[in-house]
Structure 1
């Protein structure tokens, strides 16, 4: 059943699908699925796997938070059945691998976080050009006029900013550098965006692996700054880090709330193509938080073992289904569910796995 025939019936179909998933018999033999990739999706994926395997005996799913770049590479090479990624395949990768699909499972976001002792509870206002200047070394001090100009009345220290970035190939880097490229022509022209980029050399800058690595680095390094997946929001709060309000395409300074993430998805979601490769970064419209992305399962539609294909379809349908139970898992991770028209496209892509 194709997406154009499903759109108006998405909620009804979702309910029927969920009932069907609960009713299907167990597979004849034990099935083992492997997943690796996004450290942003990793906490939610572990919850999905724990709950699914508890109620679906005969299926074992291993998970690993290795970064979106590893998730893409391992899915493309056949090293795992499911590559988790915050980034979609490039045009070149898609042309070379027509059997591989990018399946959005949920919608997530990044936060920009900092460790400024004594600042208090103020949410600093930052924008793409200022962040670009920090990560190129043009803005070196926290009390630089470019930052104080965005934050009148906030007393900022005369201390060197220590930018922290990912050392691994990362979908978070992909999303963050897209924001810089889309808002700052000089960054787009000289650095660009990707899961890895040639970062400008900045004295004192720090690299760390995974979301947990950059979080720990910022926690341990006064006057540092980084980008972190929103699924780590509880850890960010526990570490006492500040969270920046970021300037949106429409000029608002916004924090990542369910409403501002949903507004960004609502703005660009209707443009999602059939293959679902689309950026949600710097979406236009009111209250649209700028660092928003689809969380992808990168999988091959051509499976050697039909039982594995069946197990993959069932699990991915279950995890992406817009039901109340899954909504709780998404809420806990600070994610939001796919809009109905996007979920329909996801349904079709999952059904192509054979």
Structure 2
């Protein structure tokens, strides 16, 4: 069980950053087509899956000879299969733990974009409202010590809202999930009792709460909540369209600085900006509960987890070129990110990701 954030590291100098950006732009979109057919297998994050599927399709369309299969299996599977070699690219909302990294130093965690989670609920008559919630209240709901929607802790955060006296149905991921990793980090960092008893990981021993439910994948969880009045859950922001179509409510979450915020491009970017200077060279760092004004608390890097030691030079080259293309700072990629409600890597993080990708051989 992981319970601490990584330590700050130095920031890259501006001159080195500019030079690296120029080199990266030259190496990115102008990549030539592959001379032979290659298939790369990606598996993992269901939050990143919609964006990664677009990337794979567009790359194959413009780069003959390279095919990329995508699979939304959950971040834990993405990590496992990247480490075992069953997939060339694992995707995850969670970075590898220190113990995993020590056992497999050849595996790198490469941020590809910045994303967020939303807290959503199916509260009849109130789904159009953005209820205010904080970490301790959510921790108490998932621990089973807050059981009704009109509990005094929730009403105190939402004065004037007529909350029903109905049991809350907490819903969580059944599979190993980076979404669970990020959500339970928020509970851990904001609630000492949760940190002392449960902590955070891609899978945890969820407390037994009467009526609680679970499901695999973001879509599975969304379907359960849609079908269950008075349910609450956490979902990847890339499902924003499906969340809206299902008519679910979205909570305003209390940030580290005490503001209640919705996930918007501005609040996600503010959270990332406050912590990206601390990102170490291996890029394993949480962005959850970032300090500073207007910083939404449930923000994370979306990782490609890859071995630097590939089976052949051709495979290594194909992976390098695809990943560099996917993070290229151009208008086309910005549109892909916007459509998924993700934001692009800040320049400093782009340089770190670029350097990690170049180590694949």
Cα distance change of structure 1 residues 73 and 58 upon mapping to structure 2, 3 Å threshold: same
How much does 1:23 deviate?
3.4
Report whether the alignment pairs 1:141 with 2:148: yes
CA shift for structure 1 position 119: 1.3
Matched, 1:164 2:156: no
Structure 2 CA distance for aligned equivalents of residues 170 and 341 of structure 1:
27
Shift of 1:25: 3.1
Match of residue 235 from structure 1 = 242
**Counterpart Cα distance in 2 of 1:149 and 1:8:** 50
Cα distance in 1 between the residues matched to 2:250 and 2:242? 12
Structure 1 residue 173 corresponds to structure 2 residue 177:
no
Query: In structure 2, what is the Cα distance between the partners aligned to 1:250 and 1:88?
Result: 25
Q: 1:321 corresponds to which residue?
A: 328
The one of 182, 194, 203 aligned to 2:210: 203
Would the alpha carbon gap of residues 201 and 5 (structure 1) be closer, same or farther in structure 2, given more than 3 Å must change? closer
* 1:288 matched residue in structure 2: 295
1:155-201 superposed Cα distances (whole Å, 9 cap, x missing partner)? 11111000000000000000000000000000000011000001111
Question: 1:11, CA displacement in angstroms?
Answer: 5.6
**Which residue is equivalent to 2:131?**
124
Aligned to 1:212: 219
Q: Distance in 2 between matches of 1:295 and 1:120?
A: 28
Structure 1 residue 274 and structure 2 residue 281: aligned? Answer: yes
Output the CA distance in 2 between the equivalents of 1:49 and 1:292.
24
Distance 1:5 1:191, change over 3 A: closer
CA deviations on 1:31-62 (whole Å, 9 max, x unpaired) are: 11000000000000001111111000100000
Q: Please tell me whether residue 302 in structure 1 is matched to residue 330 in structure 2.
A: no
TM-score by length of 2: 0.95
What secondary structure, in the 3-state scheme, does the structure 1 residue paired with 2:157 have? coil
Q: CA RMSD in A?
A: 1.4
CA pair 143-4 structure 1, distance change in 2 beyond 3 A? closer
Question: Which of 329, 335, 358 is residue 351 of structure 1 equivalent to?
Answer: 358
Question: Are 1:222 and 2:222 counterparts?
Answer: no
Structure 2 segments unaligned to the other structure (5+ residues): 1-9
Give the conservation status (yes or no) of the 8 Å contact 1:313–1:353.
yes
1:225–1:169 distance in 2 versus 1, CA, 3 Å: same
Separation (CA, whole Å) in 2 of partners of 1:150 and 1:350:
45
Q: Counterparts of 2:12 and 2:162 in 1: how far apart (Å)?
A: 57
Deviation at 1:4, TM superposition (A): 7.8
The 3-state SS of whatever aligns with 1:23 is coil
User: Of 183, 186, 192, which aligns to 2:190?
Assistant: 183
**Aligned counterparts, 1:243-282, within 5 A:** 243-282=250-289
Partner of 1:53: 60
Gaps of 5+ in 1: none
Q: TM-score of the superposition, structure 1-length normalised?
A: 0.97
Aligned partners of 2:79 and 2:96 also within 8 Å = yes
The answer to whether the 8 A contact 1:14-1:321 is kept is: no
CA contact (8 A) 2:11 2:277 kept: no
Q: Give the deviation of 1:6 after TM superposition.
A: 7.4
Within the candidate set 100, 113, 129, 1:106 is matched to 113
Tell me: CA distance 1:158–1:24, structure 2 relative to 1, closer, same or farther (3 Å). closer
- The question of whether the paired residues in 2 share the 8 Å contact of 1:7 and 1:344 is answered with no
Residue 329 of structure 1 and its aligned partner are, at CA, apart by 0.5
In 1, the alpha carbon distance for the partners of 2:12 and 2:149 equals 54
Alpha-carbon shift at residue 12 of structure 1 (Å): 6.3
In 2, are the aligned partners of 1:319 and 1:326 still within 8 Å (CA)?
yes
CA shift in 2, pair 1:334/1:22, >3 Å: closer
Aligned to 1:149, the other structure's residue is in SS state helix
Deviation at 1:18, TM superposition (A): 3.8
Deviation at 1:7, TM superposition (A): 4.4
For residue 155 of structure 1, the aligned residue among 162, 179, 194 is 162
